[in-house]
Structure 1
């Protein structure tokens, strides 16, 4: 039974995942697709749909106790089904269902002769039924579209099945020994369920169905006066047919009536808005005329960039604050200031290289390297130096991996320096992998030396 439940869980999980994917790719907008003019014909809706489902078949039902059935210990097995449905009204639909699978149970009742059976297995070749589906709660006065539709079904049909019974000694036999052993019987399916709107035209279907067999042959053992019955709990997906139209079963006419009311008043709102826009345009024109007059008066005295030259005479407008300008408002040439790299500057960089360490095989800078890098960052900030970072590795590993690691380590140092205030435009970071070794790669010490990041200050 545990194996069967695991199989059922896999089937149900697959259907749920499929429904999620379909829901994500479907159109999430309900405004255009859900509106239908009130009192429209069914041709404006999707009335046909198909569905597939999977779940659990068991001889146990919510009606009566297990100990009163022919076999007192029901088992659970995989069941599967499909249907096609025609929605007649928003509440009533006719559907044709197919049902297949296997039903099992253990430990039969003991008859008056003292006979009993240890097990029965009934192969349900098919069950074909015509049912009426009644949907409730699809009209909402609170929401534009109801997300959940409770329903119940009832109908009748024909099923073909083969029961096999097993004695306590392990001998098996078909209940019907002539021909193929299959039995054709009338049955009545009655069910309830909930449908959830995953997306336009796609519903998640959760249901429970009890099937009343018109005989006591279904489990292969006639005991008592009651006919056999079995249940089917399932989960599945329903797909609407007919293109981009709302489903009749899920359509909310209240929302359409509200939309119709809004559209009937739209013309009045548009006329009012046109009058408001015309008045705004007149006010804007008056404001523009006033602004033009003020601008003509102020252009001889206004100094927008604050450089001391009025805009009317300023040939270089929008100079930065504090910039020294000539009589036409243009910046005076700046004297060139040269900055030289001193031995003290080089020592700061060398110290950073000596203290630089990364986590093994990663581009993560170890914490004790931070103080030396902080000094380099301050040096770049104070003197506006350019800095080139060149990352190298030993020859262990693939060329692509070494190139990536050397580049990542150089970029990690650049990111750290920029985070401390250095100008990112003055720093370049490159990775050269195992190229240009400065020591032999045949020894551990040599490989350690080759794993480096070079700093070039200029």
Structure 2
């Protein structure tokens, strides 16, 4: 309870009830973000093939975030092409491509994207002597929705221009001069890997007793910075979240505050866009109470060499320190230290343990005189 006010009340009966508080929802995702995307494909075939006008198929794509708004995607797809002749074996294709996608957003909500890929395609035709491998390339536009279920499942739709340089003569004895140009329309799903949606619901029970006399009812007072000290008695507003405070709401020294929501680009010391609001709130807290020194400590998991991890953690700690300085924090109050993989807080044998070990810590040091 953050604080209370006493209010008199007069009644002649007694009741009790409970009120569920609003649920806190936490989204946990793998770093970097990844997904699998099964899709159904419809092909509109190039007239120069001189066979049927359509094809049907399916595919499975694997995507991985490589930078802000940039994704790498690899897809295997297979199609059946209508031969256009009754009682005749259809033609078949199988393609493996890889390429890049640019998303016009962070893909956590409805996001359009452009995509391009290149790879190899096999044409299985009649006669078998004309079966062949060829260059295959495609480019297109698409959209992906935000999560529609608790497991993060998304819907995806796209259209692509498809180029196939197959030059066999099996398409009704027609040579594909310059290759064939088809259109592909796709509908499918995106299944995120390492996605968890956690709901934490706190149940608050209020018991109000009504009698034929005045009683006192407790009412919660606001606590804007969530440090356990109500605003009416808080002499240090905007306290650093997660830190221990004294009875006046001011941060205590000789403690370490851990942040798992300060993220960096892959193998880089560049903070992600989603991290900037976190660091801006930290800077606001440091500027609100200036009687202590902060050591910014960077930590990694055990992937890679110990020397590389120490250098990377040091660079990331320096990047956080510089960002706080840019936000107006006195540079003399801040130091940076890289600890690499030397101080794990969880096992490096699991993905969740590695995620816990990739962290930034703020050590609150001696009081400034």
TM over 0.5: no
Larger-gyration structure (1/2): 1
| Structure 1 or 2: more helix by fraction | 1
Report the TM-score, using the length of structure 2 for normalisation: 0.44
Q: Which structure shows the bigger proportion of residues in strand conformation?
A: 2
